[in-house]
Amino acid sequence: MSMRSIWRPIARSATSARLSRHIVPRSPARATSPRGVSAFFSTAGQRMLKDQPDPDLNNDEFQAYLDGNAAWAQSVTDKDPNFFTESAKAQYPTVLWIGCGDSRVPETTLLGLKPGDVFVHRNIANILHPSDLSSLSVIEFSVKYVGVKHVIVCGHTQCGGLIASMKNDRVGLIDSWLTPVRALRCKHADELDSLDTMDAKTKRLAELNVQNSLEVLKTNPIIIDAMRDRGLQIHGVVYNLATGKLEPLETGESQEDFKKRIAAFETK
């Protein structure tokens, strides 16, 4: 007799024993009765169905979004009948906004502007990586071709990415994206550790993160050219969720630092 033929009944027996611990009902009658087994799996199926999201509820939510859009479009048209017709012709935003993807920081709304006024790039924790093709593409298109006059990098209080960085939370793929923030925490550890509350620590980290993104921005040749040739301005702000206010940060640099930056990063 081959080892395979010996193993098969043993394997089936072991597998059956493991499964029986999980699915065999307590009552012997239910275990042996087809009606009992059917009732058991029927009940289990009902429990599983109860755990599933209600598709009708999801459809109702989506329909509410569509209804809200229709009401908004009508409201805008009532105030300005030509708004959408003119908007469809071209865009003329004066500012590029680089911000966090947090739903509580809607750039056009909090700036008191309208659709078409702001060119937008958002990501987790408003981080600028020098080699990130997404942000580089947005910067080049908006600055070089659209011709925005201002670039605003905006952080905010209670940022989930910054809180995860301060608490050493492991969040998966995003951990790699947050590496620059964790490096800032390491670099400024003494200052951050001296602050009393997590809110204070994360707000200060938000400021440092914006300033770091501005430094990355100022090494971009497209930005360097636009600042030199047509006076493009860059700004750093932190949005306070508790007040709804933008708090501007210092973005200046000394003449010596300016010369060093241009010498290192300007391309011709």
Helix (H, G, I), strand (E, B) or coil at 222: helix
Each residue of 111-137: b (16+ CB within 10 Å) or e? eeeeeebbbebbbbbbbbeeebeebbe
CA 64/CA 201 separation, integer angstroms: 39
> What percent of the chain stands above pLDDT 70?
80
Residue pointed to by tokens 């200046």: 252
Looking at residue 258, its pLDDT comes to 86
- How would you classify the pairing of strands 233-240 and 150-156? parallel
Looking at residue 82, its pLDDT comes to 97
Q: Which of 154, 159, 185, 204 is catalytic?
A: 159
Q: Is the pTM of this model over 0.85?
A: no
Q: Which of 100, 154, 185, 204 is catalytic?
A: 100
Closest CA to 147 of 72, 99, 85, 90: 90
Cα four-point dihedral sign 157, 162, 163, 166: negative
In the chain, DSSP assigns E strands to 95-100, 118-123, 150-156, 233-240, 245-249
pLDDT tens digits, 168-179: 999 999 999 999
Confirm whether 228 is a catalytic residue. no
In which region does residue 172 sit, left (phi positive, over 0), alpha (psi from -120 to 50) or beta (all else)?
left
At 19, list the tokens.
């499964």
CA 208/CA 250 separation, integer angstroms: 11
Q: Which of 102, 121, 185, 204 is catalytic?
A: 102
Confirm whether 159 is a catalytic residue. yes
Each residue of 141-150: b (16+ CB within 10 Å) or e? ebbeeeebee
- Residue-wise DSSP of 177-204: HTHHHHHHHHHTHHHHHTSSSHHHHHHH
Q: Interior CA angle at 194 toward 193 and 199, to 5°? A: 75
pLDDT tens digits, 99-142: 999 999 999 999 999 999 999 999 999 999 999 999 999 999 99
**Average pLDDT value for residue range 15-31:** 44
CA 217/CA 139 separation, integer angstroms: 9
Confirm whether 100 is a catalytic residue. yes
Q: Which of 121, 156, 185, 204 is catalytic?
A: 156
**Average pLDDT value for residue range 239-256:** 93
Q: Which of 8, 12, 104, 188 is catalytic?
A: 104
Looking at residue 148, its pLDDT comes to 98
